[in-house]
Amino acid sequence: MGGREFDIIERYFAGYISFSPPQVILGPGDDCAILDVPADQELSVSTDTLIEGVHFPAGCAANMSDLAAMGAAPFAFTLALTMPAEDDAWLEEFSATLSRLVGKYDIPLVGGNLARGALSITMTVMGIAPKGASIRRSGANPGDIVYVTGTLGDAAGGLAILGQDKKATGHLIDRYYYPNPRLETGLALRGIASAAIDLSDGLLADLAHICKASDAGARIIADNLPLSTALTGAFAADQARAFALGAGDDYELCFTAPAGAADRIAEVARSTGVIVTAIGDITADDGVCLTDRAGHPLSAGQAGYQHFDDA
Amino acid sequence: MGGREFDIIERYFAGYISFSPPQVILGPGDDCAILDVPADQELSVSTDTLIEGVHFPAGCAANMSDLAAMGAAPFAFTLALTMPAEDDAWLEEFSATLSRLVGKYDIPLVGGNLARGALSITMTVMGIAPKGASIRRSGANPGDIVYVTGTLGDAAGGLAILGQDKKATGHLIDRYYYPNPRLETGLALRGIASAAIDLSDGLLADLAHICKASDAGARIIADNLPLSTALTGAFAADQARAFALGAGDDYELCFTAPAGAADRIAEVARSTGVIVTAIGDITADDGVCLTDRAGHPLSAGQAGYQHFDDA
C-alpha cells in the first residue's frame, strides 16, 4: 500500500472499517485481512465490477443479492476502487454511501485497494450458511412450483422514465436506484427452496439459468406475474409485462420449491414482510415457456415476448 | 451473468476453472461459489487491482505475495476483468497465462466477472493457515533480528534497464516481469517469524509498516543488504543500494524473529531453497535507520538514501 493510498483510506474509510464483528480476526492494514469462518458454516463468494455510470448503491445491491440467492448471511467484503484522480467530493459521497451500506447490510469491509485508472469499483462479497444449506441453481425438480419475491419490472420502468426525464422521481425510480436485495427472505428459504437465483438479467433469462443447471424446464403463467400498480399505472399492459419478463435489475429472488411447501413459503413471506408469488412450475422439458391460466402456451405475440431458450 | 459474458467464460476460461480441489464445494456458474474452510483454519483475504500497463504475471505475484507474507497457503481466488472490447488475441494470451498461474500456485479460480470498460483486472485471493498461525505485521519486538529473503533491488534494476531498451533481456528483467512470491518460505516461517511483510513498496517503506504496526523501530546495516551480482554488475554501488532500499516490486519477504531462532531460519532457507539474510534488528525507537557495520547511523548522503519515517 503506497503512502498516498494509505492517506486516502485513513481519511475517507477509517471510520467504518473499524467496525469489526467477531468474524474479523484482523481487519484492513496488513498484507491480508484474517477471517474466522465458523466450523459448521460454508463460505459463499462472489465478485462484481461496477463501472462508470452505474449507481453505486444499486451495484452494491447486486452483490448482496447474490448472497441472498444462496441463502447466505453477509460475512465480509473487499473493495477495489480505481479512479482517474483523487476527487474529494466524490470520495466523500462514496464513503458516506458505503458507510450506510455497511450498516444496512451489517457486513464489514475487510480489505481494499485504491489505484489510479478509469473509474471502476469491484466488490468481492462473502457470505456464510450452515454446511450444505446454501441454495443452488441446480436443485429444481419437475413438479416444483416457481416463485418470485416482490414485484417485477419496476426497475426497468424506472429506467425508462429516467430516459425521458433524468430528474423524475417516484416508486419506480427508487426501485431502480435503491433495490432491496432479499437477504432475509433468502435466509428464511434455506431448507425450503430447492433452487434460487436473483433477478439481475430478467426473469426469463435467470429462470433459464435455473432450468439449465437443474436439467429441467419451466412454464410461467403470464397473468400471474406480480406487477406493481406503479408499473401498470405508468405503462401499457404489454409493456409492463415485457419489463417483468425481460428486464434486469429488480434484484428480486426467483426460487423453486416442492408443491407441499406452500404453507411454509407463505410463512416466509409473512415473517420477512415480502410478498411471494407462485408464477408457474418446473417441467421435464427444456427451456422456459409462457402459458395462459389454462396452461396453454402463448405465442410470442400473445406473450408480448419471445420464447426464451435456456443458455 | 449476461449471455455474452457467459460465452466468453466458456470459451476462454472453462478449461481450468474445472480444476476443483476439495475446498471448492461449488465452482463458478452459480450466484456465488461455495468454499469449505477447514474447521481448524483461518482465512486470509486480499484484493488488488492491476491496471493497463502492469504485466499480469507480476500483478498476480503481488497478490500471492500477500498470502506468502501472512504464512497462508493459497486457497482460492476470484477475478474481475474489465476490457474495452472483446479482444480474442488478448483473451487467449490472458487465459493461457492465467492457466499457468493457476497451476503454478495450485489455486482454483472460483468466481469472476467480465465487464466492458477500461482494461483492468482485480484479483481477490484467499489463503488459509491454522488458527492463530498467520504472521502479522504487528508482532516484532525490540531485539528481534530483521531478515529478508532473496536479493533486493533486482526488479527496479530490470525496470531501469527496460527504460533504456524495451527489448532488453536477462536476470534483472526476469525478476521484474516474473517475480517469485515466497509462498513456501512464508509457510515455513509460521511459528518462527514474529512479523512479516512482502516487499512491494521497497524495503524501507515496508519495514516502516512493520515498525509502525509493532510500535517499534529498526536499524538496517547498509552493507548487509543482499544484492545480486547481476545488479551490482549493471549498476554503481550507490544506485544498487538505492534500488534495494527504496524500490518496490521485488516481492521478497521482510520478516523479524527472535535472535534465538537463527538456526531454525537457516533450516527454512535450506528447505525452501531461498537465501535468507539478516540485515539488522528491531529497536525500541521509532522509524527505520541505516547504520554501518559498527551500528553507527549513516547520514542520508552516506546511505545513498533519505532517512525514512514510519507512516
| Whole-complex ipTM | 0.90
Strand partners, B289: B219
**Cβ-contact A26, A146 below 8 angstroms:** no
Q: What are phi and psi of A208, to 5 degrees?
A: -60, -35
Query: Using CB atoms and an 8 Å cut-off, which of residues 209-248 of chain A contact chain B?
Result: 209, 213
> What is the bridge-based pairing of β-strands B73-83 and B109-116?
parallel
Q: Which residues, 6+ apart, have CB-to-CB distance to B71 below 8 Å?
A: B129, B133, B134, B135, B186, B187, B189, B190, B193, B196
* Whether B120 contacts chain A with CB within 8 A: yes
Cell of A26: 484482523
Q: What is the pLDDT of residues B239-291, one digit of tens each?
A: 999 999 998 889 999 999 999 999 999 999 999 999 999 999 999 998 899 99
Helices and strands (DSSP H and E) totals, chain B: 11, 12
Per-residue pLDDT tens digits of chain B, which is 311 residues long? 444 565 666 667 766 666 678 999 998 889 999 999 999 999 999 999 887 666 777 778 889 999 999 999 999 999 999 888 888 888 888 888 888 888 889 999 998 888 888 888 999 999 999 999 999 999 999 999 999 999 999 999 999 999 999 999 999 999 998 889 999 999 999 999 999 999 988 999 999 999 999 999 999 999 999 999 999 999 999 999 999 999 888 999 999 999 999 999 999 999 999 999 999 999 999 889 999 888 888 865 555 454 444 33
Determine the distance in angstroms separating the CA of A294 from the nearest CA of chain B, rounded to an integer: 31
Burial (0-12, 13-18, 19+ Cβ within 10 Å), B294: exposed
Give the CA distances from residue B288 to residues A208, B197, B235, B295, in Å, rounded to whole numbers and listed in that order: 60, 15, 25, 13
> Model pTM?
0.91
**Cβ-contact B51, A115 below 8 angstroms:** yes
Beta-carbon count within 10 A of A275 CB: 13
Query: Using CB atoms and an 8 Å cut-off, which of residues 13-72 of chain B contact chain A?
Result: 25-26, 29-37, 39, 42-49, 51-52, 65-67, 69-70, 72
Determine the distance in angstroms separating the CA of A39 from the nearest CA of chain B, rounded to an integer: 4
**Cβ-contact B135, B71 below 8 angstroms:** yes
Direct distance between the N- and C-terminal alpha carbons of chain B, in angstroms, rounded to an integer:
42
CB contacts, 8 Å: B29 with chain A: 137, 213
Distance CA B62, CA B41 (A): 23
Distance CA A310, CA A215 (A): 10
CB contacts, 8 Å: B212 with chain A: none
CB contacts, 8 Å: A205 with chain B: 3
